[in-house]
Amino acid sequence: MADLHGVFPYLVSPVHADGRVKDEVLGRLVNDLVGAGIHGITPLGSTGEFAYLNSAQRETVVRVTIEATAKRVPVIAGVASTVTRDAVEQAQRYQALGADGILAILEAYFPLKDAQVEHYFRAIADAVDIPVVIYTNPQFQRSDLTLDTIARLAEHPRIRYIKDASTNTGRLLSIINRCPQLKVFAASAHIPAAVMMIGGVGWMAGPANIVPRQSVRLYDLCRAKRWDEAMALQRKLWQVNEAFARFQLAACMKAGLEIQGYPVGDPVPPQVPLSPADREAVAKILADLPA
């Protein structure tokens, strides 16, 4: 199995107004991200608007991403559903397309008990032969993963990673201490350099769409334990994370990519694009960033 580490952009999903995926734009973006040195790529994460795409759109995004990477970096495809059987079928389909791993996301209409949450993730991991990253995001999920549930899931041979999008960095350290076999990826809510310092292996986050080279540079500095230089760069890059938190996720990243020359289009309705003033704010942030 692949050893996953480094910077994994949560890829945006460029979609025409009529719902067709913009294959050429997506392929060019993926190719450029790989050329910028990113270590892997994750279609259908939160920034990929998975909750707003139908099954055919999701599959197209995964297929185009896999084709564009041409096996140069691993593709970890997002799987999400309120129905366990559907999530399992998605995971199997994406593995058949050539995905190198699965990002398992739990959707829930009603709150679920720990045993039900655990069963959902285990069913996905049981159904595939590739690594599974479990994803916890208390801001969006009705049922979170407790530390006890995470510890039990970490015993599964294919559940080798977790991407934790809580705002509690202490929780990440608790996971690392309790489950040393489970490798931790940070989210945009965390300071990447800080997570690397406590033992994280990288980050899966939307901002890397628009600052891939700078993100890779930050990762390299952290791996080299050049913490003073890493924190100097981290301070400059943090304004991107602040913008990401301030504006809607996909709208912010799509506006940034449009400014950079990628015609990715608007976020999928009922989401709305950034206002002209907010778009100008994003443009200013990009202009002020180190090259």
Catalytic residue IDs: 135, 163
Helix (H, G, I), strand (E, B) or coil at 120: helix
Helix (H, G, I), strand (E, B) or coil at 215: helix
Residue 133 vs residues 3, 74, 186, 282, 287: alpha-carbon distances, Å:
12, 13, 12, 30, 34
Of 8, 15, 67, the closest CA to residue 36 belongs to 8
- Report the amino acid identity of residue 183: K
Peptide bond before residue 131 is cis, with ω within 30 degrees of 0: no
Complete edge-to-edge strand list for the sheet that includes strand 101-106? 6-9, 202-205, 183-186, 159-164, 132-136, 101-106, 76-81
Lookup: tokens for 58: 């999701």
DSSP of 28-73:
HHHHHHHHTT-S-BBTTSGGGTGGG--HHHHHHHHHHHHHHHTTSS
